[in-house]
Structures are given as C-alpha cells and as structure tokens.
A and B are shown apart, each in its own frame.
Chain A
Amino acid sequence: MTTTLVPPLVTESEQTRELRLQVRAFLRAEVDAGSFTPWVDTWLTRWDAAFTRKLAERGWVGMTVPVEYGGHGRTFLDRFAVTEELLAVGAPVAAQWVADRQIAPSLLRFGTEHQKRTFLPRIVAGEMCWGIGMSEPESGSDLASVQTRARQVDGGWVLQGRKTWTSGAHEADAFFALARTAPVDPGNRHAGLSQFAVDLHADGVTIEPIVAMNGSRHFNEVLLDDVFVPDDMVLGEIGQGWHQVTSELAFERSGPERFLSTYPLLDAALTAHRETRPGTSSGLGRHIARLTALHQLSISVAGCLQAGDQADTAAALVKVLGTTEEGDIADTVERMLADGELDGVADLGALTALTDAAVLQRPGFTLRGGTNEILRGVIARGLGLR
C-alpha cells in the first residue's frame, strides 16, 4: 500500500548531472561577477527580469515545454536539477517562477492551440511573467468558496472580484483567475468554477500592495472591476476550473522550493562554523540528514510527474515535511547566532541579516501553496481516512 505514498526510487542520469554542473558553474560565475547577492526564499522575494532572461537564453526556463512551442522538450528531472541549483545558490528567480512551474504545464494540459502559441514561447524566452489568481480575502484554505464572478457577455466574460496574495502581480503580465461562472450548488461546491487568463494591464485591473512584516512588498491584492476577458482566453472548459486548479497544485506543491528556501542560510552557517570552530560539529547534521532525505523524496516525485503518474499525495507529503524543515533550519541558525556560536566569523553582519530574513519568512513557508493542515488532509485522503 505504501507505494501509493512514496514514488519509486529515482536517481539522476549522467546527462542530467552534466546539466546540473553546467548550471552550477554558470551560477558560480554570476555570483563571482556580482550579478546577484545570494539570498533566502528568492523564488518569492527576488524578482529580476534581466536575470530570468539570462537563464532563458541558456534554455533553463520553460524547459519541459515541447520544442514546437518554443520550449526545450526536457524532462521534469532536468528541470528539477536546474531549479535545485538556482535555489541552492539563492539566485533571483521570482520573475520566472510561477510561469515556469505551473502556468506552462497548465497551458500544455488545458490550453487551446492559440493560447499555447501565444504564451508558451514568451514564457520560455523569459519575457512573460505570471502570477496566481486563486486566493481571495474571504477564500484562503477554502478555495472553492471564491466569490469572484465571471458574467458572460458578447464575445467573452466580465470578471468582478478581488484576488489576494498574488506574488509579483505588480511586475507580472498576467494570471489565471479562478472565478465562479455558475451559482454555488450546495451539493457540489466544486462545480461552476472556471479559469481565465487575465491581462494584468487590462482596464479595470487595480493592483495594491500587501506589505510584509519586514516592510518588503512581494504580495498584492488584485481588484478586478468589470474586467473583460475574451472567449479565447478561457482556460480549459467553463465549469471545470476546480479540476484544472487542483491539477495545477500538484506542480505547485512538489518542487524543490518546498525544502530549499533556506538552503543558502544552511550553507552560510556551515561555512561560518567551519571558519570559527573547524573540526567540530555544529548541530546542523540533523538538517543535513533530513535534506538528504527530502532531496531524494522530491526527485522521486519529479520522476512521478515525468512518468505522468498521479503525484498529489506524494507532493503534499514533500511539502509538509520540506516547508517545516526549511523553517527549522532558520530557527537553528538563529539560535547558533544568539548563543554566540558563530562569533568570530568574518562577516557576522551579513549572516545575521540573512538569518533575520529567513526567520521572518518562515511563517509563510507552511502557509503558501496550501497550509500544512490542508495538505495533511490531502495525505489523509490518500491514506483512506477521508
């Protein structure tokens, strides 16, 4: 029975390893050249369209998109290796993240030929950035309760409502809005929902910041006030929005950003410890052990996606474990600093700033993309308890 929870063991091929090493060498050169400063949680907090285009030029954005749509026809395992490398070094990848991770796969699965030809080449080129239009002020974990409505008009739909927690909406070009196209059926709350590709520069779209507790702006509220969406920008089928959104979530939940958000901090702390107390153990071994396991579990989920197998439960499992672990890393390093265990390191100020960023980002780790409590519900269903 357990095979339904844990996908079969997957190890990286020689070719993928080669690709991984290419990406690693490129990133090292970029860091050395001062192209970016490594940071934590960069897939949310570091938006750099120029850097995204640089990656795109090397074929590392939209990798799994077929060649006929401008992509590279690479495997999910190749993409997994590239994204791991980007996160581990703390590169600024927020501009491409959503489009690369879930928009492109959703377009491939549910999009029309016209939509694929319109959007995919631009995503692959790193020229089109996307956000997520799912959550609303009154719909957090309970996504099916969204109140944004789409009213059918001549030639399209008119959307009215308010989306929230849209990362990067103030810099993005578009998002998929989940909206109600039919009144709620109390017997089937998941019916009557649809997805629309909304141009964030369209008339009627207002974007307002949600400032995070450390003063940074990554999240937004997106007000949709009679925003017209033409018929050819309906994603998939009217009424099938719930099914489409949940399949998008498998991509959203399974990637290495669910356990590597604080890896740059772990690496920095380990380096600092070696500098100040060489030959001794720091207590970070616990995290190293769990990250080793998470890497393996996560790569196996990528193998599952590659094979086209159902990975919802496994993805939820990786996310629950991984987001907790990446937060625990932040806490451990914070304690080490507080106890003076890294005193004497060359750049204590930089390490402290990185740690502060990590502990303030931490509460979000186990919320975004579905809270861990919701995900445990998904796993419980996989176990047959619900």
Chain B
Amino acid sequence: MSENMTEELRALAREVLGDHATSQQQAPGVERDLDPGLWHTLAELGLTRLTGREEHGGSGAGWPEAAVLLWEAAAHGVPVPLLEHDLLAGWLRDTAGLAHGEGAPTTGEPATEVPATEVPATGEPATGVLATGVLVSGGGPVTVPWLGPASTVVVLDARGAGPTAYEMPVGDLAITPARTIAGEPAGRAVLPAAAEVAGAVTVDAAVVREWEHRGALARAVQLAGAMDKVSWLCVGHAAGRTQFGRPLGRFQAVQQLVTEVACEAALCRAVVERAVQAVATDGFHDPHARFLVAAAKAATGHSVTRVVRHAHQVHGAIGTALEHPLQQYTRSLLAWRRDHGSTRHWEDRLETTALAETGGDLWDTLTR
C-alpha cells in the first residue's frame, strides 16, 4: 500500500473510530466491551482482517496499515481486538494452514451480545465469528484476551517438544471470566494439549518467536498511540483550565510536566515507526527487525511510567475519575505495558538475544 493509501486508511479509521469514541465517552464504564456495531462496521470496511490473505477473505494489507489502525484505535481510546483477531489468530490460522471452514473467522462478527437491531441487514447471514488467540507456554490455566465476545480461539501451544497450532470453539472450554486492568474482557481457561485436539498442526519454532514479536510490536504501536493522545490531553487541559487567575499552562512547573510527556511520546513514536517500517520491509525473520521490535516495546514500556505519572499530575484529581477521558488511556497503558512481555523482559532480551542475533555489534545494529 502506498503512503497515500495509508493516509486514506488513517482518515477512514479516524472517521469511524471518532464517531464511536464520542458516543462512548458519554457513558464511560469501568468495563470496556467491544461494541458489536463498531466491529460490524469495521468488518464491512475490510478492517477486521486487514492483514489477512485475500484468498481467505482478508484485505491483504501489511504492517504499515495495521499500525495505522492500531494507533488510531488506541489514540481514540476504543477497545477493539485488532491484534488478537487479525494479527495473531488470523495470522496463525493462515500460517499454520488451519482449516478455513465452518466457524472460522473471515470478517469477524462477534458471536455473542450482538443486538439484532444494531447489525445492519446485509442480505446474508454473518459468515464469520470473532476469534482470539493465545500462546500457551506453561501448565495450568492461562488468561485469554477477549474470551467474552470471541467464540473461537486459535492456540499456539509451545508446551510440547515442538510447537503446534490448533483452533477450538470457546464453548468447549471451562472459562472463568476476567477483566484486564483496562476493563477489557478476558477469561481464564485451561487449554487442552495439542494431542487431544483434532486438527492440531505442527508449526516451526520460528512461529512462536514471530508470535511474540507480533504481540510486542502491536502493543508498542498502541502504547505510542495512546501516549501521543495523552500528551495532547495534557496540552488541552493545561491550556483550558484556569487556576490562580491564569491557565495552568502558564505555570512553568506545569509546562515542564507537559513537555516531558510530549518528549516521551515523540521518542516512542520515532522508535515504533522505525520498527514497523523494518518489519514491513524485512519481516520478522530478519534479526535487525526483531531488534527494533524489542527496542520499541522496551522503550514504550519504559516511557509509560513517566507519561502516566506526569499526565495525572497535570490533570489533578479529575484525571483519576471515571468520567474523565484520561483514565481510559491510563488503564490501557498499564494493561499493554505488561502484556506480550514486560518492559524488563524486552530490555533483557534486547541486550542478550536480539543483539546476539544481529551479530553482537551494538553500534552497527543501532545505526543500521
């Protein structure tokens, strides 16, 4: 997709997500569910399987487009399982060659909680369902994101000697419902071993590695998008709120806080854009692209601490209230920072594995 088309996609995403964000902010809740109507709209626009292969009903786009969509959704504070449905579940299904049969998501209609009136009549029944994905690497129950609205789960099982992939209906699992700190739906469940599942497929070990980097890159993009938005919320609040007879932004102490938020957001944007570009050009099999992904997740995670602290300091008490938009970004930032590898995890991995795989020369890696 050309730069022009990426910008067109950005405009489209802003339009759709902007409408939704406005209506959502009128009734903010602790629990933040997927709006089936929004998901339907996104599906109709070909955005829910943006990166899916066209022969499987996807839109055939790549990471630059996925990053635009992830960024805009994060910046608008709209909860949508783009990573889980498209970039993980959909990708693994395509990669492992899992059956695209009955019940497999193509466009991705949520299977549950879809009020009939909100689904525009398209003349034919919804063909797909919302999928989620999970990487299982240890025993016991795991947390699966979006288990509420999702009706099928694509599993990457790394417990055995060689990794396997399979898909199963959510209905076959015993689920303990859960919520992320951002209020998004999730569930705890024990996933069966691949040997017990019909249709499980053995996959290459590199698939697990790619899964981890996909998750990290998408979360880094979302973190950067949300921090960018937070920096502008800070600017808006500092300019609009008057105390001691003048706007907060006139106080140097407040300016220092706001600019620190803006600096961190800008830094994160730079590294995330570079990582997306490298992955788009060279793919996840390229060690340097993986180095940049690790750097992006580590750097964005690190910045969250300062951004959240300063943003709330700028906003004062109101920023902590459910009624204020800041809180949804705060909660998302905290949820995404710990997700798909902590900051520490990626810092360590950057220094050890990622750097070793590029040849070990830090300066050469940094400047490539």
Which residues does chain B contribute within 8 Å of A267, judged by CB atoms? 362-363
In the assembled complex, the CB of A58 is this many whole angstroms from the nearest CB of chain B, namely: 19
Secondary structure at the A interface, as helix, strand, loop or mixed, is helix
B267 interfacial by beta-carbon distance below 8 Å: yes
With a cutoff of 8 Å between Cβ atoms, the chain A residues found around residue B228 in the complex are 2
Q: Known contacts being A2-B232, A321-B263, A373-B256, is A385 close to B270, with CB within 8 Å?
A: no
Contact (Cβ within 8 A) A320 B259: yes
Q: Which of B258, B302, B346, B366 contacts A385 (CB 8 A)?
A: B258
Residue of B nearest to A286 (CB): B347
Contact A376–B270 (Cβ < 8 Å): no
Residue of chain B at shortest CB distance from A379? B259
Alpha-carbon distance between A119 and B185 when the two chains are bound, in angstroms: 68
Does A285 lie within 8 Å of B256, measured CB to CB? no
Contact A285 B347 (CB under 8 A): yes
Tell me which residues across on chain A come within 8 A of B235, comparing CB atoms: 383-385
Flag whether B47 is at the interface (Cβ < 8 A).
no
- Closest-by-CB residue of A relative to B3 is A8
**Residue B350 contacts which of A285, A297, A321 (CB distance < 8 angstroms)?**
A285
Mark contacts of B249-270 with chain A using CB atoms, 8 A cut-off: 1 yes-contact digit, 0 otherwise: 1101001101110111111111
Q: Which residues in window 330-386 of A have CB below 8 A to B?
A: 373, 376-377, 379-380, 383-386
Q: Is B367 an interface residue (CB 8 A)?
A: yes
Q: How far is the CB of B177 from chain A (nearest CB, A)?
A: 35
Task: Select B346's contact among A263, A289, A296, beta carbons within 8 Å.
Answer: A289
The stretch of A49-57, A95-103, A156-164, A276-284 in contact with B is: A276-284
Interface size on B, residues (CB 8 A): 48
- Residues of chain A contacted by B291 (CB below 8 angstroms): 292
> Which B residues lie within 8 Å of A123 (CB)?
none
Whether, in the assembled complex, B194 has its beta carbon less than 8 Å from a beta carbon of chain A, the answer is no
Interface residues of A in 8-29 (CB under 8 A from B): 9, 11-12, 17, 20
A285 CA to B349 CA, complexed, in Å: 8
Cα distance A17–B228 in the bound complex, in angstroms: 31
Say yes or no: is B41 at the interface (Cβ < 8 Å to chain A).
Answer: no
Contact A300 B263 (CB under 8 A): no
Q: Does chain B have a CB within 8 A of A151?
A: no
Contact: B348 with A281, CB < 8 Å?
yes
Quick one: CB contact mask for A60-102 with B, threshold 8 Å, 1 for yes?
0000000000000000000001001000100000000000000
**In the complex, how many angstroms separate the beta carbon of A305 from the nearest chain B beta carbon?**
16
Nearest opposing residue in chain A for B292, CB measure: A292
Distance between Cα atoms of A286 and B366 in the complex (Å): 14
Could you tell me the distance in whole angstroms from the C-beta of B116 to the nearest C-beta in chain A? Answer: 40
Cα–Cα distance between A6 and B181 once the two chains are bound (Å)? 30
| With contact pairs A289-B298, A290-B302 given, residues A6 and B266 touching in the complex (Cβ less than 8 Å) | yes
B355 CB–A CB distance under 8 Å: yes
Q: Is B357 an interface residue (CB 8 A)?
A: no
Q: Contact: B259 with A286, CB < 8 Å?
A: no
Contact between chains at B352 and A281 (CB < 8 Å): yes
B351 to chain A, nearest CB (A): 4
Tell me the complex Cα distance, A291–B259, Å: 19
B295, A293: Cβ atoms closer than 8 Å = yes
Chain A min CB distance to B40 (Å): 30
Q: Does B299 contact A (CB under 8 A)?
A: yes
Contact of A376 among B259, B299, B348, B351 (CB under 8 A): B259
Q: Would you call B274 an interface residue if the criterion is a C-beta within 8 Å of the partner chain's C-beta atoms?
A: yes
Residues of B within 8 A of A286 (CB): 298, 302, 347
Report whether A292 and B366 are in contact in the complex, using a CB–CB cutoff of 8 Å. Answer: yes
**Does B273 make an interface contact (CB < 8 A)?**
yes
In the assembled complex, the CB of B321 is this many whole angstroms from the nearest CB of chain A, namely 24
Please state if B263 and A293 are interface contacts (CB–CB under 8 Å).
no
A383–B262 CA distance with the chains assembled, in angstroms = 9
Chain A residue with the shortest CB-CB distance to B281: A11
A238 at the interface (CB under 8 A from B): no
Q: A6-B266, A289-B296 are in contact. List 10 more A-B contacts (CB 8 A).
A: A266-B362, A285-B346, A288-B351, A292-B295, A292-B299, A293-B271, A373-B252, A373-B256, A385-B255, A386-B255
CB pairs A–B below 8 angstroms (26 shown): A2-B228, A2-B232, A2-B269, A9-B270, A11-B277, A17-B368, A84-B367, A88-B363, A266-B362, A280-B352, A285-B346, A285-B347, A285-B348, A286-B298, A286-B347, A288-B351, A289-B302, A293-B271, A297-B270, A320-B260, A321-B264, A376-B255, A376-B256, A377-B255, A379-B262, A384-B235
